[in-house]
Amino acid sequence: MPMRIGHRGAAGYAPENTLASFRKALELGCDGVELDVHMTRDGHLVVIHDPFLDRTTDRKGLIRDLTLAEVRAADAGGWWGPEFRGERVPTLDEVIELTAPAGTRLFIEMKAGSIHYPGIEAALLEAIRRHRCQDRVQVSSFDHHGLRRLRELAPDLSLGVLYLCHPLDPVGMARAIGANALHPAWYFVTPEVVQAAHAAGLEVYAWDVDRPEAAALMRMAGVDGIIADYPDRI
């Protein structure tokens, strides 16, 4: 059976990428959680999907232009419901620490590399090494240049290639980067892609799978993990 991985925690049940959402994923018994990382102006890694606060908090502004204190001043839960008012944008450290007791796998999406966030690859590696959690972490990104930089810095770090298209040769793309896994949107997954990936020693993690019929297709295709907002429904 594929791993059950909570998308942005358990984003169908709590405000995405908050500690409340990650706690819900743990409560549901997820094998892993997916999360998104940006870097603040003063070099801190924070867990939020968008490059700005606007959609999921009560404040505005680009993460790269704000300090950690400014990001943490935003309410990241009230937009979802009054019971979540006061939730903050968590740091990567907080999510690593929250998930450590259960040994939950972490699928960390680096939203952009050094072109957008100078030094983010080194900062991400520093956090992973400081918490000694490399054995339960896989870093993914749509920024394939950033993934190559991570591979240069950390030959043993598990990497996943995110894509939202039909690449002519997904296995070749992953090999060129030195990645360990493919992370396609679920509707680009076919049994043939999974078979080719497995033959090359690559894992396949499909996202964002929330319909039971889509989850059934992913299981039939043989993926290694299913990333979902409602991980208990897959």
Name the DSSP letter for residue 228: E
In angstroms, rounded to a whole number, what is the distance separating the alpha carbons of residues 193 and 181?
A: 12
Write out the two tokens for 45: 């890694």
- Tell how far CA 29 is from the center of its chain: 17
3-state secondary structure (DSSP) of residue 167:
coil
Among 7, 38, 144, 183, the active-site one is 7
* Residues written for the chain: 234
SS3 content of the chain, % helix, strand, coil (to 5): 35, 20, 40
3-state secondary structure (DSSP) of residue 27:
helix
Establish whether 49 is a catalytic residue. yes
Among 38, 44, 49, 145, the active-site one is 49
Nearest residue to 214 via CA among 185, 183, 181: 185
User: Would you call 179 exposed, middle or buried from its count of C-beta atoms within 10 A (0-12, 13-18, 19+)?
Assistant: buried
CB 9 within 8 A of CB 84: no
Q: What residues act catalytically? A: 7, 49
